[in-house]
């Protein structure tokens, strides 16, 4: 499954994943954004791995925020943008 979201600033966020037993698996996050440190992308992926497909965007964004912490700088995107991409990948209308 694939969800794309273009942020207000024009940056693209893409989340690719599979569903297994109602949970996200094999999660990949990509796009034309910047992330410092870059290793935090693994923390974002880990926050999404195993996520129940029923999770709402607010909860997804909170989970990402908790995983990366305040020292991570997201340039051109946000946890909310990643959550929106996940929602779109699940076939949800904008929430």
* Segment 47-66, tens digit of pLDDT: 999 999 999 999 999 999 99
Provide the percentage of residues in the chain whose pLDDT is more than 90: 91
**Cβ atoms of 82 and 4 closer than 8 Å:** no
Q: What is the dihedral of CA 81, 7, 29, 1, to 10 degrees?
A: 80
Considering the segment(s) 2-89 as one domain, its CATH architecture is 2-Layer Sandwich (3.30)
- To the question of pTM greater than 0.75 for the whole model, the response is yes
Largest Cα–Cα separation, the chain: 35
Q: What is the pLDDT of residue 9?
A: 84
How much is the average pLDDT of 65-84? Answer: 95
Would you call 48 helix, strand, or coil by DSSP?
Answer: helix
Provide the pLDDT for residue 10. 84
Write down the domain spans for the chain. Answer: 2-89
């Amino acid at each position: 499954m694939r969800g794309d979201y273009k942020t207000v600033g024009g940056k693209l966020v893409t989340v690719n994943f599979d569903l297994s037993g109602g949970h996200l698996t094999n999660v990949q996050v990509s796009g034309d954004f910047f992330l410092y440190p870059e290793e935090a992308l693994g923390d974002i992926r880990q926050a999404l791995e195993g996520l129940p497909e029923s999770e709402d965007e607010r909860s997804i964004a909170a989970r990402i925020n908790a995983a990366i912490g305040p020292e991570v700088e997201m340039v051109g995107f946000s946890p909310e943008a990643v959550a929106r991409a996940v929602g779109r990948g699940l076939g949800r209308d904008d929430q």
